[in-house]
Amino acid sequence: MGRLEGKNVVISGATGGQGQVACRMFGDEGANVLGTDVDEHAGAALSKELGEKGHQFTFIAADLSNNIGVDTLGAAVEERFDRVDAVYNNHGIILGKPLLETTEAEWDKIHDIDLKSVFLIMKRLVPLMIERGGSIINVSSVGGLVAFANMAAYGAAKGGLAMFSKVAAVDLAPHNIRVNAICPGVIDTPMPRNFVSGLAERDQIWKGFEQGHLTGRLGRSEEVVALAIYLASDESTFMTGAAIPIDGGWSVQ
């Protein structure tokens, strides 16, 4: 029997590198998963793959940066589940740009997707958790704990998400809903590879990513998702209000 057997879980960012791993691993632990992302084609392919494995998986395409998309997600969740046991807010984008060159539109886009969307999702889905309680896991970043050059918009959003998770843990504790943030270091997924792909110094930057961790390597999606599964499971019922670095020791240097 899996550690999440029978639990209803919503996973955002489901078609990204880490999101696909999450949908597979949560399903392997017995969860009923509803995944969401903007890429409908990739979502259909993931649904086919997981269905063939016997997983209970549903995909819904939605833009979570605004209330319209979040309402689309909420309606799909209500149709699929009678309750929600865990929400894994795994979506996000990155921007590397000097502060004085960052436009208002770029700032707003990062904050809409990386921070505001989590607030909107929680407002929409928490009512489906109140009766039985549950767990919310928000993916922040080591960039929300440590200051990196050229990452003002991203760092502000991810730092805000870490603090938002703490405040939400206080507000939702009376409903037996736990809220924690995960703060990964650089994880070897398409996002950071795409981020450096167009840079002239990409090999040097990638090496710097590796050396920035005390472990001397990048993280793996499976390592981050394993922590999320723990936080979604009944093994972590004494854990709430934490912003947990899983960053190879980057944040302690």
CATH of domain 8-185+223-245: 3.40.50.720
Give me the half-sphere count of Cα atoms (radius 13 Å) on the Cβ side of residue 54: 3
pTM of structure = 0.96
At residue 117's C-alpha, the angle toward residues 115 and 22, to 5°, is 90
Q: For residue 146, which of 158, 161, 135 has the smallest C-alpha distance? A: 158
Which residues are within 8 A (CB) of 198 and not within 5 positions of it... i.e. 6 or more apart?
none
The confidence score (pLDDT) of residue 194 equals 82
Q: What is the pLDDT of residues 17-45, one digit of tens each?
A: 999 999 999 999 999 999 999 999 999 99
Mean pLDDT, the chain, whole residue set? 96
Alpha helices in 127-201 (DSSP H): 152-172, 190-197
Measure the N-to-C terminal CA separation of the chain; round to a whole number of Å: 40
The confidence score (pLDDT) of residue 142 equals 97
Question: Is 87 within 8 Å of 73 (Cβ atoms)?
Answer: no
| 199 pLDDT more than 80 | no
Q: CA–CA distance from 152 to each of 65, 87, 94, 186 (Å)? A: 19, 27, 11, 17
Q: For residue 21, which of 223, 158, 193, 195 has the smallest C-alpha distance? A: 223
**pLDDT-based confidence at residue 198 (cuts at 50, 70, 90):** low
Q: What is the pLDDT of residues 37-88, one digit of tens each?
A: 999 999 999 999 999 999 999 999 999 999 999 999 999 999 999 999 999 9
Q: Is 154 annotated in the active site?
A: yes
| 217 pLDDT more than 80 | yes
Q: What is the pLDDT of residues 173-189, one digit of tens each?
A: 999 999 999 999 999 98
- Domain ranges in the chain? 8-185+223-245
Which candidate in 59, 107, 154, 206 is catalytic?
A: 154
Residue identified by tokens 């833009």 is 63
